[in-house]
């Protein structure tokens, strides 16, 4: 077998959820959109439900329907995209709570599923989803009469704790919602870490559960071990890989491992990234190709059976920095070919 092993520590995810939950006075949900950031929504959500999570957020109704099959009837499942055309049966049958984003969605919802639970998503400045202040002012009394379960908005810059956008969005959200008798939700992971003023009744962490920035104290969740297929010696001046991307400066030993950019190992991270043999870094030699990566193991002194891309010595955020992206993209890119192993849960 030459597929790489992706190990997902469910106990670390539940520990991260508990740690974030302990920081807030209100309740703490779990955001499990995009297959729980690539880590497996069914396994992740089941573990979190056992740990006590009662509220889950997904991006689209299809994800919510699958999650309902996993979780059974107890927990609330909220859909960020709201109520889209064609969603009524799924929302109704699977008891999903759409976060209504517009007057159009509101009409669609009350006409197709009168009396069915829903929430309201407000735009407090991000200009991505939700009703703007004017639209909300016009719709508010009608919406409130329909008994919304939750009112939420989303922070654009919560990972930058001193960004002026944060207090500005907080003030806008409060202007739009103060005095209403409906539970409120504003904070993602970054929002939880900002200040209690952002917490309201329900926090919505995603990346912090999965071990990513800005939750610096998070326990690491993923380990990725890639088998070595072959090792070879190079004389000085010999080259490795496409476009002769690496030229041996000395007698060099190269290991070729069984994963590449088709497995979500972004080509852009190549020049700065090493694979690790325990605590010894072995630099990537030349370009990352589709299914293979060549690694300079000269200084290691032996031929390893596998090398590690993610683990105690290299985090998703380190790889993100190397590829000029964010940990979220590293996680959601994790390949379908990996053999997945789950610990705990």
Ligand X SMILES: *Cc1c(COP(=O)(O)O)cnc(C)c1O
- 261 noted as active-site residue: no
Which residues have a Cβ under 8 Å from the Cβ of 118 and sit 6 or more positions away? 83, 97, 98, 99, 100, 109, 146, 148, 149
| Minimal distance, residue 311 CB to ligand X, in Å | 22
Q: Among this protein's residues, is 242 annotated catalytic?
A: yes
Rounded to the nearest whole angstrom, what is the least distance from the CB of residue 229 to ligand X in the complex? 35
Q: In this structure, are strands 30-31 and 27-28 parallel, antiparallel, or unpaired?
A: unpaired
How many residues bind to ligand X according to rule CB under 6 A?
Answer: 12
- Name the pairing type of β-strands 252-257 and 55-58: unpaired
Q: Which of 68, 108, 109, 204 binds ligand X (CB under 6 A)?
A: 204
Candidates 88-96, 202-210, 258-266, 287-295: pick the segment binding ligand X (CB under 6 A).
202-210
By the rule CB under 6 A, 199 interacts with ligand X:
no
205 binds ligand X (CB under 6 A): yes
Give yes or no for residue 55 binding ligand X (CB under 6 A): no
User: Which x/- pattern over 13-42 shows residues binding ligand X (rule: CB under 6 A)?
Assistant: ------------------x-x---------
Which of 47, 105, 124, 188 touches ligand X (CB under 6 A)?
Answer: 188
> Taking CB under 6 A as the rule, does residue 80 contact ligand X?
yes
- Check residue 207 for interaction with ligand X (CB under 6 A): yes
Pick the catalytic residue from 198, 210, 242, 328: 242
206 binds ligand X (CB under 6 A): yes
Compose the 146-185 pattern: x for residues touching ligand X by CB under 6 A, - for all others: --------x-------------------------------
Active site residues: 33, 242
> Which residues lie near ligand X (CB under 6 A)?
31, 33, 80, 154, 188-190, 204-208
């Amino acid at each position: 077998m030459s597929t790489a092993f992706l190990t997902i520590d469910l106990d670390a995810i539940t520990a991260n959820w508990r740690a974030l939950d302990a920081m807030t006075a209100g309740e703490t949900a779990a955001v499990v959109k995009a297959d729980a950031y690539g880590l497996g929504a069914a396994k992740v959500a089941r573990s979190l439900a056992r740990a006590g999570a009662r509220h889950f957020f997904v991006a689209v109704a299809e994800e919510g329907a699958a999650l309902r099959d996993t979780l059974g009837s107890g927990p609330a499942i909220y859909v960020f995209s709201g109520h889209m055309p064609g969603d009524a049966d799924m929302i109704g049958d699977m008891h999903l709570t759409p976060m209504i984003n517009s007057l159009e969605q509101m009409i669609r919802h009350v006409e197709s599923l009168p009396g069915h639970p829903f929430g309201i998503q407000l735009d407090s400045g991000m200009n991505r989803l939700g009703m703007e202040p004017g639209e909300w002012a016009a719709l508010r009394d009608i919406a409130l009469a329909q008994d919304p379960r939750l009112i939420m908005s989303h922070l654009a810059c919560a990972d930058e704790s001193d960004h002026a956008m944060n207090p500005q969005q907080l003030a806008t959200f409060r202007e739009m919602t103060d005095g209403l008798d409906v539970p409120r939700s504003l904070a993602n992971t970054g929002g939880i870490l900002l200040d209690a003023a952002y917490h309201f009744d329900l926090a919505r962490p995603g990346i912090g559960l999965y071990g990513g920035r800005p939750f610096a104290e998070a326990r690491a969740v993923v380990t990725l071990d890639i088998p070595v297929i072959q090792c070879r010696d190079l004389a000085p001046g010999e080259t490795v890989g496409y476009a002769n991307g690496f030229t041996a400066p000395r007698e060099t030993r190269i290991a070729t491992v069984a994963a590449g950019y088709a497995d979500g190992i972004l080509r852009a991270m190549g020049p700065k990234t090493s694979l690790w043999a325990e605590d010894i870094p072995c630099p990537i030699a030349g370009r990352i190709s589709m299914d293979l990566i060549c690694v300079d193991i000269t200084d290691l002194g032996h031929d390893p059976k596998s090398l590690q891309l993610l683990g105690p010595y290299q985090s998703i955020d380190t790889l993100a920095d190397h590829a000029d992206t964010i940990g979220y993209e590293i996680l959601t890119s994790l390949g379908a070919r990996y053999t997945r192993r789950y610990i705990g849960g």
